[in-house]
Amino acid sequence: MGLTCKIFGHKWRNCWCVRCGAYRDVDHEWNGCKCEICGTVSNERHTWEKSKTEKCTEVCASCGRTRSTGHDWEQISSCLRVCKVCGYAELTHIIGDMIADDYDDARDLYYRDYVCQRCGRRIRKYTAYGDFTRGEECTMRLSFAGTVSQQDIEELKKYDALHQEMKNL
Ligand SMILES: [Zn+2]
Ligand SMILES: [Zn+2]
Ligand SMILES: [Zn+2]
Ligand SMILES: [Zn+2]
Ligand SMILES: [Zn+2]
């Protein structure tokens, strides 16, 4: 703070003191989401437009920030769904009973196996990376390249059914 400002107070123009260059977080000069004077970005003022490069995504015309517009889900199995438009997939299990508490020699790690309350699949958690609690949702994010066709979805359903049997052995 300059001496003059210290004695007389700042000389504010919007969010900026024209005398000493100090900033304050009020009275910004908004151009879209961005203050033209100090560069502050307001989350309430983005100008959302459909992204030209990414599907299921909007981009702010002023600052380039992106957000998801929501997906067009196809349910593959009780816990697996995939977006037909962008190929984003989510596997979300609900943690149920613990059925094993053991040691994995190959990985040199202790683990616990749980059963998903919804699909019955066995889910392994290495205890070095924390633990699950009952009822907790466990989401794995997967991604497929590009648009997912009906054929891809059928393949995914087959793969998922097979995978489930193998894991449950
Ligand atoms: Zn000042
Ligand atoms: Zn400002
Ligand atoms: Zn913005
Ligand atoms: Zn999508
Ligand atoms: Zn599940």
In this predicted model, what pLDDT tens digit does every residue of 30-70 receive, in sequence order?
999 999 999 999 998 999 999 998 899 999 998 999 999 99
Cα(31)–Cα(163) distance, integer angstroms: 52
Between the CA of 135 and the centroid of ligand 1 the distance, in Å, is 55
pLDDT over threshold 70, residue 163? no
Which sequence spans correspond to the domains of the chain?
A: 3-68, 73-167
DSSP 69: -
Residue 116: what residue type? C
**Residue 168: what pLDDT?**
39
Could you count the other beta carbons within 10 Å of the beta carbon of residue 117?
14
Surrounding residues of ion ligand 5, Cβ less than 5 A: 79, 93, 116, 118-119, 121
Per the model's pLDDT, the better-predicted residue between 81 and 142 turns out to be 81
The pLDDT assigned to 169 comes to: 33
7 Cα–ligand 5 center, Å? 67
The owner of tokens 């059928």 is: 154
Report pTM. Answer: 0.61
Chain-wide mean pLDDT for the chain? Answer: 87
88, containing H or E segment:
strand 88-104
Which ligand sits closest to the CA of 24?
2
Cα–Cα distance, 87 to 162 (Å, whole number)? 21
Residue 149 scores a pLDDT above 90: no
Phi-psi bin for 141: left (phi > 0), alpha (psi -120 to 50), beta? beta
